[in-house]
Each structure stands twice: as structure tokens, then as C-alpha cells.
Chain A
Amino acid sequence: MGFSDPTKDKAIEEQLVKDLQAGEMRSFEQLANLYQKKIYSLSFNLTRNATDSQDVTQEVLLILFRKGHTFQGKSAFSSWVYRITLNASYMKLRSRKREPSVSIDDLLPSFNKAGFQQEKIQDWSESTESLLFDNETREVIQKAVDLLPDKEKVVFILRDVEGLSTEKVGNILELTIPAVKSRLHRARLFLRKKLANYFGEYKTRKESK
């Protein structure tokens, strides 16, 4: 199936969902093909474990297969799939010993009484290109995201990584638009600070050579 025209793709997907609701199982395979990468990717970003993500993907596909006909269409089909994926991923995480989460407030920017920035801010935005595909950089970025508290992490992954709209994220997580925006902003501030420690140091090292 081609994915060149978003309106056409949406219409095809809507038809597949209708078929699934009507118990037409041929549409299951096509929907599974459409969604398995999204399910796997979201689950992997939450669990950071290939086996868990495979299990989650299978569980979600099984729910689509067995319960697809009960989908009522009150919200978008994709929102339903994302919600099931999140629940299945959290079940996996619950059974695992987890790193203690970090307080996000400790890493938010600090200001003086007049509201001006207190820290020295380095601009490392230009020096990241060559490092992007470096394994160490990938690891630093993944670890920083893993350290985010769950509430902020899920918003960040859905909105900034998966590229869903603020409205859609609000719909999936049953949050208001201001709540989505506030969590996303806190997540970005936290990650910026974490990456600043890494890229800022790299830039200083490079400049002192």
C-alpha cells in the first residue's frame, strides 16, 4: 500500500477499520502492517527492550484481532491503538525493577530575582551535526529520555518523536491542551539541560584543542 497521499491513506484506513468492525478479517492483516511499526517504536521508546516491544506488539495486534469489532469509533482508531500500546508497555515496565526517577525540577533553568538567567548558556546547537550518528551520542540521548518521569516522557515521545499533534496527544492521554503543552515544555527543558552537559563539554574540549 502506498503512503503518498495523506487524504487517500486516511480514507483507505477508515475503510479498513470499518471492515474490521464488521468482522472482515482480511482487513486485520493490512491494519497490522500499517500499525506494527508505530506500535513497536512507541513501545521500544518506553521499554527500551526489543523482546518486551515484540511482546507488546503481538499483544496489541491480538487485541485488534479479537476486539477490533468492538471498537466503537468514539475517538480515532489510531488513538485507541496508541492507548492500548501504552497500557501494554506500562504493564511490562511494572514487572521490571526500575531506576529511581530524577526530579525534573532540579534540572529546570534557574533565574535571579529579576528573572534573568543565572547560568552561563553555551550555544552548542551548531556542533551537533557530526555527532548525531555517533553511538555515544545516541546513548546519551536515549539515557536522557529514559530518565524523564513517565508523565513527561510519554507526552514527549508522542508529540516530538512520533510527531502527533497536541490535540491528538491530549485525546490519547485524556489531558487538556495546556496540560500537554506544559508537560512537553518541561520535558524539553529537562532534556536540553541533560544534552547541554554533554554537548557543551564537547564544544569546550574541541575549542581548547
Chain B
Amino acid sequence: MICCKECIELLHDYLDGELNPEIEASLEEHFADCPPCIAFVNTYKSTTRLCKDTLKSNDIPDAVKSRLKEFVDKNKNT
């Protein structure tokens, strides 16, 4: 049977659906019997989502936005 170490090494490709069906089936067989790996997969997925949600919202502050606009206007007229 495939071990936790191998499962975790293959996790990226597993979540992207890029494993061949045979290997994917052995991973799922392992997961069915291994609560720590299930917890690992869930928290691995959450990590990506949480970081994305936190870091994606870097809106440009209004003050910076207007300075950039001035900058663009100045350059397009030169």
C-alpha cells in the first residue's frame, strides 16, 4: 500500500487531476484508511484558498490611483 509520504508528494498533481487513474485510485484507497491524510488534504486546500482570498484584494489605494492617473496623463501628452 502507498504510504503518507508518497501521497503528500503526489498531492499537487492529485488535486490538479493530473495523476494516472491507477495511482489516483491508490491514493484514494490510502485516504479512505488514513484520517491524518484526509486532515492534511483538507488543510492543504484551505491554505491555498485562505492565502488567495487574503492576498488577492490588494486594491490600489485611491491616493496612489490618482497619482498614477496624473503620471499616465502626463506621459501620454508628451
Contact = CB atoms under 8 A, between A and B. Distances in A.
Contact of B36 (A36, A58, A117): A117
B29 interface: no
Contact of B50 (A32, A123, A128, A185): A128
Interface string B7-36: 010011100000000000000000000001
Q: Classify the secondary structure of A's interface with B.
A: helix
Interface in A121-139: 121-126, 128, 132, 137-138
Interface in A10-26: 25-26
A62 B76 CA distance: 10
Interface residues of B, number: 39
A149 interface: no
A58 B51 contact: no
Report whether over half of chain B's contact residues are helix, strand or loop; otherwise say mixed: helix
A132 B13 contact: no
A88 interface: no
Contacts of B60: 36-37, 40, 57
A45 B39 CA distance: 28
Which one of B45, B61, B75, B76 has the greatest number of beta carbons of chain A within 10 Å?
B75
A82 to B, nearest CB: 15
B4 A116 contact: yes
B46 A132 contact: no
Nearest to B45: A125
Contacts of A181: 12-13
Contacts of A54: 64, 67-68
B72 A121 contact: no
A160 B51 contact: yes
Contact of A125 (B46, B52, B67): B46
A125 B42 contact: yes
Interface string A152-163: 000011001111
The 6 A-B residue pairs with the shortest CB-CB distance in the complex, in nearest-first order: A115-B3, A123-B39, A115-B5, A125-B42, A41-B58, A125-B46
19 contacts: A37-B59, A40-B60, A54-B68, A58-B68, A58-B71, A65-B75, A109-B8, A109-B40, A115-B6, A117-B36, A121-B43, A141-B50, A157-B55, A160-B51, A162-B56, A188-B12, A188-B48, A189-B8, A191-B47
Interface of A: 25-26, 28-29, 32-33, 36-37, 40-41, 44-45, 50, 53-54, 57-58, 61-62, 65, 109, 111, 114-117, 120-126, 128, 132, 137-138, 141-142, 144-145, 156-157, 160-163, 181, 184-185, 188-189, 191-192, 195-196, 199
